[in-house]
């Protein structure tokens, strides 16, 4: 019994001694760690203070510029340029956040890079607006740090700017360049053979390959001993009106833009092409209220008037009144003109409600009704489906497409020209139709 008690007390003693040793060792290391921690903390605070002094003591260390166009082109990729110059005496790491207009819904517009001492970097990015109006660009936020990366200095550079988004003048310039250099076929415009000939004689010139044999002037050829041809000029000063439906049928979106904005962009292009062809371009906008008309003209300043009118155009997309359109056109457009009517018919019955007014317009003018294919439904009709539900949807899509084609046939039956096109092909299709009608001598 005494032996057991002795063993028990001996074990307790060893345990207590062990705990004391462990506490002494831990306390020793804790003291050492505390000293190391304090040294590390002092070192980090020193580095933070040093980096802060280096970053903040240099006056105006970064300079930046934002190169914005005077106007942005709706529906096109517009380039915005940025440049930053480093005036620090050392390399800095840069993070740039540009405050682009809220209409673009860009949440992570960030660019990261490094700049050596006295180095300048320039780059650009593109923005595609899909609505006309004023867009606000905020400041340029720049975060700079050294290689340590412990402190970032924030700069608010560049300046706040407002930029107007106009109808697609980039597309207009592109087609203008093609037209001037006689390369419209590169943009998808068909080469149309002229039917008949205008009677306005212009000049006698030397023959070039491709001239029609009928135009050879044999008397001039005999006198010059060289093949000469007569050159005739096209009929000029014809009135071409773009008629924009501002009703609810034009509110439908495609690729982020409304059908109305596609029509506005096409209107600007075709107005410019018509004026290059020496015709007069005009504009009519109608909805449920009194139509607004910009008389046809071909002066250089007139294209700017059309662009400004299209930029300011607003609508609440109510039901359009075609009777008011006919009455207003009869009162204000006295000369026979080409009317390019941009609207949208989703059904044959919808077109028939407006057929009477279209017939009356077609008696006085050459009317071209331009409306849109539903490309999403076209995709559905071309897809292969196995489920009953999908087949049902596909059948409905085919029915809508069939009604669109029925609208074309019905309008042609009453002598009204039509264009059924997808929104992205609207401009090219309209130019093709305009050139076709001129080639046939209908305007």
316/235: higher pLDDT: 316
Share of the chain above pLDDT 90, in %: 50
Whether 100 and 116 map to the same domain: the answer is: yes
Asked if residue 409 is part of any domain, the answer here is yes
221/282: higher pLDDT: 282
- Tokens 């009106």 locate to 241
Question: Which CA distances in Å does 91 have to 105, 120, 147, 148, 154?
Answer: 33, 12, 8, 11, 16
Section 204-228 average pLDDT: 79
Whether 94 and 26 map to the same domain: the answer is: no
DSSP state of 216: B
Section 159-168 average pLDDT: 94
- At 235 the pLDDT is 56
Helix ranges (H only) for 241-387 are 259-276, 300-312, 322-332, 348-364, 375-382
Cβ contact 246:407 at 8 Å: no
Section 209-213 average pLDDT: 70
Q: Please list, in sequence order, all residues whose beta carbon lies within 8 angstroms of the beta carbon of residue 159, skipping any fewer than 6 positions away.
A: 66, 139
Asked if residue 56 is part of any domain, the answer here is no
HSE, side-chain direction, 13 A CA sphere, residue 139: 8
383/6: higher pLDDT: 383
Query: Which burial class, exposed, middle or buried, applies to 145 when counting CB atoms under 10 A from its CB (0-12, 13-18, 19+)?
Result: middle
Section 90-107 average pLDDT: 89
Query: Which burial class, exposed, middle or buried, applies to 216 when counting CB atoms under 10 A from its CB (0-12, 13-18, 19+)?
Result: middle
Share of the chain above pLDDT 70, in %: 79
Asked if residue 288 is part of any domain, the answer here is yes
Asked if residue 16 is part of any domain, the answer here is yes
Provide the sign of the torsion angle of the four alpha carbons 27, 29, 32, 36, taken in this order: negative
Asked if residue 271 is part of any domain, the answer here is yes
pLDDT at 188 over 50: yes
Cβ contact 366:336 at 8 Å: yes
Cβ contact 156:60 at 8 Å: no
Tens digits of residue pLDDT in 404-418: 889 999 999 998 999
Cβ contact 322:369 at 8 Å: no
HSE, side-chain direction, 13 A CA sphere, residue 42: 6
Question: Which CA distances in Å does 160 have to 66, 82, 241, 279?
Answer: 10, 14, 39, 42
Cβ contact 155:94 at 8 Å: no
Structural domains counted in the chain? 4
Q: pLDDT grade, residue 308 (50/70/90)?
A: very high
Q: pLDDT grade, residue 289 (50/70/90)?
A: confident
Whether 210 and 268 map to the same domain: the answer is: no
Q: pLDDT grade, residue 273 (50/70/90)?
A: very high
Whether 85 and 188 map to the same domain: the answer is: no
> What is the average pLDDT score of the chain?
84
Q: pLDDT grade, residue 399 (50/70/90)?
A: confident
- At 26 the pLDDT is 62
Whether 252 and 389 map to the same domain: the answer is: yes
Section 328-340 average pLDDT: 92
Rounded Cα–Cα distance for residues 231 and 436 (Å): 20
pLDDT at 138 over 50: yes
- At 5 the pLDDT is 47
Q: pLDDT grade, residue 393 (50/70/90)?
A: low
Nearest to 190 by CA among 366, 375, 434, 422: 434
Q: pLDDT grade, residue 116 (50/70/90)?
A: very high
- Tokens 């970064």 locate to 62
- At 23 the pLDDT is 63
Whether 271 and 213 map to the same domain: the answer is: no
- At 42 the pLDDT is 81
6/41: higher pLDDT: 41
Asked if residue 243 is part of any domain, the answer here is yes
Count of CB atoms situated within 10 Å of the CB of 103: 15
Cβ contact 250:343 at 8 Å: yes
- Tokens 């003048």 locate to 169
Whether 24 and 82 map to the same domain: the answer is: no
Asked if residue 40 is part of any domain, the answer here is no
pTM recorded for the entire structure:
0.79
**Strand, helix or coil for residue 94:** strand
Tens digits of residue pLDDT in 72-97: 999 999 999 999 999 998 999 999 99
Whether 222 and 293 map to the same domain: the answer is: no
- At 8 the pLDDT is 44
Whether 253 and 211 map to the same domain: the answer is: no
Tens digits of residue pLDDT in 32-85: 667 767 777 788 788 788 888 888 888 889 999 999 999 999 999 999 999 999
Q: What is the CATH classification number for the domain harbouring 349?
A: 3.40.50.410
Asked if residue 48 is part of any domain, the answer here is no
Whether 320 and 381 map to the same domain: the answer is: yes
Q: pLDDT grade, residue 129 (50/70/90)?
A: very high
Question: Which CA distances in Å does 149 have to 50, 145, 187, 426?
Answer: 12, 6, 52, 53
Host domain of residue 25? 1-31
Count of CB atoms situated within 10 Å of the CB of 404: 21
Cβ contact 357:323 at 8 Å: yes
DSSP state of 347: S
Whether 10 and 98 map to the same domain: the answer is: no
Rounded Cα–Cα distance for residues 399 and 413 (Å): 21
HEC assignment per residue over 217-266: CHHHHHHHCCCEEEEEECCCCCEEEEEEECCHHHCCEECCEEHHHHHHHH
Question: Which CA distances in Å does 204 have to 177, 207, 217?
Answer: 27, 9, 8
Task: Indicate the range of 26-30, 87-91, 336-340 predicted with least confidence.
Answer: 26-30
Angle at 245 between CA 241 and CA 248, to 5 degrees: 170
Whether 6 and 115 map to the same domain: the answer is: no
């Amino acid at each position: 019994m005494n032996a057991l008690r002795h063993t028990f007390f001996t074990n307790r003693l060893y345990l207590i001694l062990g705990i004391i040793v462990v506490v002494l060792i831990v306390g020793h290391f804790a003291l050492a760690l505390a000293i190391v921690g304090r040294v590390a903390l002092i070192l980090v605070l020193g580095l933070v203070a040093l980096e802060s002094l280096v970053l903040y003591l240099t006056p105006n260390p970064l300079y930046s510029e934002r190169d914005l166009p005077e106007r942005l082109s709706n529906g096109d990729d517009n380039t915005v340029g940025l440049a930053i110059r480093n005036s620090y005496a050392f390399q800095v790491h840069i993070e740039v956040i540009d405050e682009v207009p809220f209409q673009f819904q860009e949440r992570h517009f960030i660019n990261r890079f490094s700049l050596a001492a006295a180095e300048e970097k320039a780059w650009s990015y593109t923005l595609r607006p899909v609505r006309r109006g004023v867009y606000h660009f905020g400041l340029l936020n720049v975060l700079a740090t050294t290689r340590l990366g412990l402190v970032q200095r924030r700069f608010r550079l560049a300046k706040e700017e407002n930029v107007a988004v106009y109808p697609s003048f980039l597309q207009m310039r592109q087609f203008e360049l093609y037209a001037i250099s006689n390369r419209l076929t590169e943009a998808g415009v068909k080469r149309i053979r002229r039917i008949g000939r205008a009677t306005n004689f212009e000049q006698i010139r030397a023959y070039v390959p491709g001239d029609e044999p009928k135009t050879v002037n044999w008397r001039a050829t005999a006198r010059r001993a060289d093949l000469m041809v007569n050159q005739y000029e096209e009929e000029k000063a014809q009135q071409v009106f773009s008629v924009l439906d501002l009703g609810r049928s034009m509110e439908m979106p495609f690729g982020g833009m409304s059908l109305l904005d596609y029509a506005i962009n096409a209107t600007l292009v075709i107005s410019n092409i018509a004026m290059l062809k020496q015709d007069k371009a005009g504009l009519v906008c109608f909805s449920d209220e009194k139509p607004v008309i910009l008389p046809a003209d071909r002066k250089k300043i007139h294209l700017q008037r059309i662009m400004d009118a299209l930029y300011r155009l607003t609508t609440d997309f109510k039901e359009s009144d075609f009777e008011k359109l006919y009455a207003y056109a009869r009162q204000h457009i006295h000369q026979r003109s080409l009317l390019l009517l941009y609207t949208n018919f989703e059904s044959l019955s919808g077109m028939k409600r407006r057929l009477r007014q279209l017939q009356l317009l077609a008696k006085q003018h050459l009317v071209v009704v331009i409306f849109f294919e539903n490309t999403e439904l076209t995709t559905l009709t071309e897809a292969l489906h196995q489920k009953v539900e999908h087949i049902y949807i596909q059948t409905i899509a085919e029915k809508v497409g069939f009604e669109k084609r029925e609208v074309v046939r019905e309008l042609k039956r009453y002598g009204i020209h039509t264009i059924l096109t997808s929104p992205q092909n609207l401009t090219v299709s309209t130019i093709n139709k305009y050139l076709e009608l001129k080639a046939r001598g209908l305007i």
